[in-house]
Amino acid sequence: SQELEQSPQSLIVQEGKNLTINCTSSKTLYGLYWYKQKYGEGLIFLMMLQKGGEEKSHEKITAKLDEKKQQSSLHITASQPSHAGIYLCGADDQGGSEKLVFGKGTKLTVNP
């Protein structure tokens, strides 16, 4: 089945700095989802990417899916303390399965 690797595992940045989180798949991605999780809480849906080369933005967060559909990146511009949390990429598993498989997550800390 699908395996997702996220990098970095953790990231500490100063408020106002830009940052990028990567998600790499072992297989072609048919649906890639970014979620944010605060410690001990649920997963908040951020964005969904399905087409090679697709890019979506919401407020200061931009997500891209590469042309080969095996890598996605999440970019945050001018980070704020409210961006802190764990960012998870998830993907539709292969063969028409409904389940999502997830990466281990990237823990983001934004220092004021």
Of 8-16, 39-47, 52-60, 71-79, which part binds another protein (CB under 8 A)? 39-47
Contacts of 2 (CB under 8 A, 6+ apart): 25, 26, 27, 91, 92, 93, 94, 101
- Please, are residues 61 and 41 in contact by the beta-carbon 8 Å criterion? no
- Return the residue of 67, 99, 109, 111 that touches another protein, per CB under 8 A: 99
| DSSP notation for 88-103 | EEEEEPSTT---EEE-
Q: What binding mask, one character per residue, do residues 50-89 give for another protein by CB under 8 A, x or -? A: x-------------------------------------x-
Footprint of another protein on this chain (CB under 8 A)?
A: 31, 33, 35, 40-45, 48, 50, 88, 90, 93, 97-105
